[in-house]
Structure 1
Amino acid sequence: MTSANRPSLGVGLIGYAFMGAAHSQAWRTAPHFFDLPLRPELTALAGRNAAAVTDAAQRLGWKSTETDWRRVIERDDVGLVDVCTPGDTHAEIAIAALEAGKHVLCEKPLANTVAEAEAMADAAAKAAAQGVRSMVGFTYRRVPAIGLARKLVSDGRIGDIRHVRAQYLQDWIADPAAPMSWRLEKDKAGSGALGDIGAHIVDLTQHITGQTLTGVSGLMETFVKERPLPTETGKLGGVGGAETGAVTVDDAALFLGRFSGGALASFEATRFALGRKNAIRIEVNGSAGSLAFDFEDMNVLEFFDGGEPAESAGFRRILVTEPMHPYVGAWWPAGHGLGYEHGFTHQVVDLVTAIAAGEDPTPSFADGLQVQRVLDAVERSAANNSAFTEI
């Protein structure tokens, strides 16, 4: 069967900014490089500003637009709803879509609170019983080097896991003059660095190890507590009486953790690490070896084999671009690296494949709920002077 003759999957995307653009590219690209069982169609793009969403649809390749997300869910030509909005709307949109029989892809973190995430996971479980699928968008799982790391751990190549250390370092708001945005408002974002980027390393470490975090001890800090607000002209207020807004989320979060298999872990998530733009760093030490990954060199996985003689032992640099590596065979010849956007494409591939097979994709809303519980425990621990908090 040719691609044109395969059943179509109408996609409705809610939100068209940074994540909306990344998801749009993935929906456009996936069927051109991967042999998908369903043919994704970029059916409808939704946003509140009619002019802006129309412009975005033309740039990103969407057939039509809506200014109310509810209209997307009502459309018969939409079979999947992709939620790329701030966290405060995830639960309402995703639950409504699932109850209407639409498959759902929802950006991370799943929700702003544990209660919202529980309601979403419950709705997803009920929908799954009716053949309706859902997935949360932890796209870094789809980096080929991360896939290889998970396989090496699963194959026992590093033995029993003893230590996990993870960092996600950015610097985009280190300047106190950087403007307010929804990501700095707790009622919209849920949390700051903790939820925005800390959620990724929580999910990645649980994914790689195949274990869950069972308890944490955390610290959180907001370094810049007031920021300039944009004016009606789009210019920012300055010092000397200019209007500012209160930052109500964390700028940085650090926490210790314990995994279900007994391993000890450390986590750091900050948007104040000057010079670090999008540095995800993960190292896993086991009884038989170690793994290390740095997203700023994302096509590489470092592997230490503890069974080698000391004379020649050392971390081995594995270039994860061979056809047998996860996802890589559909792309370029060996040595021709992939980039940030490819994780979103691989996410589409896995989701569409699972929907066609009648299987529940991962990470599920239940997985997203587990991450949400970790984030909540970190916040509660930090509020209680870093007391160890069970999840």
Structure 2
Amino acid sequence: SGTLGDIGTHVIDAARLLVGEFEQVNAIVKTFIPERPLPAGRFFGPSGAASSEKGKVDVDDTALTMIKFAGGAHGTIEVTRNSWGHHNQLGFEIHGTRGSIAFDYQRLNELRVAFADDPADAFGFRTIYSGPNQPFGDKLWPVAGMGQGYIDIKSIEWYNFLQAIADNKPASPDFRDGVQIERIAEAILVSGQNGAWETIKQSAA
């Protein structure tokens, strides 16, 4: 799996949750590094190592995608492994008629918001910090400013999944969401090859 499969699927998932279903995509998909050292033993983490032997790279290093959403919104997604200075970064900005929100995973406990009707002398983004008033905040970080981490997020996912089983209700996301994300990713790859807008097949309700 290339950048689109490793990183882009998470961004697609977030975009579907926050904005809605994808209707069409048009993409540029590129491989910048044609050969890479083959792994020797473990291929990631502090003990990962590379051999002197090289192999051909057959996956993407970057994907730039324009999106038409079913609800009428337009958007872009950029995913890449070639961005010095960035770590495991995932972020988004959403701009609507009443304001904007922005999030950066490397500042996990902050959500930036701006409102269209803010007075001129206070216009701009402000920061909301995670705390006990946010969902699950009273259970995981009951004191404002304590912050949350990766394991906290996973704990919330496990809780929601197990609660759905206990309540005999459908869990979300489900396999249909996974299939739809793969359809979108495949359409992006196809568009990267032919340069055309690709229409996304929608899952049955």
1:225 paired to 2:34: yes
Structure 1 residues 236 and 367: CA distance shift in structure 2, 3 A: closer
Q: What is the identity, as a one-letter code, of the residue corresponding to 2:26? A: S
Question: Which stretch has the larger CA shift, 303-312 or 249-258?
Answer: 303-312
CA distance in 1 between counterparts of 2:149 and 2:10 reads 17
Whether 2:153 is the aligned partner of 1:339: answer no
In 2, Cα distance between the equivalents of 1:387 and 1:252?
18
CA distance in 2, matches of 1:312, 1:237: 56
Residues 307/236 of structure 1: CA separation in 2 closer, same or farther (3 Å cut): closer
* Deviation beyond 2 Å, 4+ runs, structure 1: 229-232, 234-238
Cα distance per residue 1:80-117 (max 9 Å; x no partner): xxxxxxxxxxxxxxxxxxxxxxxxxxxxxxxxxxxxxx
Amino acid aligned to 1:324: N
**1:313 aligns to 2:123 (yes or no):** yes
1: CA distance between counterparts of 2:49 and 2:99? 53
Task: Give the Å deviation of 1:297.
Answer: 0.6
Kindly name which structure, 1 or 2, has the bigger radius of gyration based on alpha carbons.
1
Q: Given the alignment, which residue of 170, 173, 176 partners 1:366?
A: 176
1:110-129 → structure 2 map (5 Å cutoff): none
TM-score by length of 1: 0.48
Q: What does the per-residue CA deviation read over 1:156-207, in whole Å, with 9 as the maximum and x for residues that have no partner?
A: xxxxxxxxxxxxxxxxxxxxxxxxxxxxxxxxxxx31001110111111111
Change (3 A) 1:312 1:368: same
Q: Which amino acid aligns with 1:237?
A: S
CA distance in 1, matches of 2:50, 2:165: 46
Q: 1:193-208 alignment to 2 at 5 Å?
A: 193-208=3-18
Residues 383/336 of structure 1: CA separation in 2 closer, same or farther (3 Å cut): same
Matches within 5 A, 1:166-185: none
Q: 1:216 aligns with which of 25, 41, 46?
A: 25
**AA aligned opposite 1:370:** Q
Corresponding residue number in structure 2 for 1:247: 57
Residue segments in structure 2 that go unaligned for 5+ positions in a row: 42-47, 201-205
| Aligned AA (1:269) | V
Show the counterpart of 1:389: 198
Whether 2:187 is the aligned partner of 1:377: answer yes
Match of 1:324 in 2: 133
- Whose strand fraction is larger, Structure 1's or Structure 2's? 2
* Cα distance in 1 between the residues matched to 2:127 and 2:50: 46
The within-5 A match list for 1:293-308 is 293-308=103-118
Counterparts of 2:126 and 2:38 in 1: how far apart (Å)?
Answer: 48
The one-letter code of the counterpart of 1:236 is A
Separation in 1 of the partners of 2:40 and 2:130? 47
CA contact (8 A) 2:26 2:196 kept: yes
Q: Distance in 1 between matches of 2:49 and 2:189?
A: 34
The alpha-carbon distance between structure 1 residues 291 and 235, as it changes in their structure 2 partners (threshold 3 A), is: closer
CA–CA distance in structure 1, aligned partners of residues 182 and 6 of structure 2: 11
Q: From the superposition, tell whether residues 326 and 219 of structure 1 become closer, same or farther in structure 2 (CA, over 3 Å).
A: same
Amino acid at match of 1:253: A
1:283-298 mapped onto 2 (5 Å cutoff): 283-298=93-108
Q: Does 1:276 align with 2:99?
A: no
CA distance in 2, matches of 1:212, 1:229: 38
1:387, distance to aligned residue in structure 2 (A): 1.1
Aligned-residue offset at 1:237: 3.0
CA contact (8 A) 2:140 2:152 kept: no
SS, match of residue 337 in structure 1: coil
Deviation, 1:235, is 5.9
**Identity over aligned residues, as a percent?**
37
More helix by share: 1
C-alpha contact (below 8 Å) 2:25/2:188 kept by paired residues: yes
Once the two structures are superposed, residues 11-51 of structure 1 have per-residue CA deviations (whole angstroms, 9 ceiling, x without a partner) of: xxxxxxxxxxxxxxxxxxxxxxxxxxxxxxxxxxxxxxxxx
* RMSD of aligned residue pairs (Cα, Å): 1.7
What is the distance in 2 between the residues matched to 1:230 and 1:369?
Answer: 30
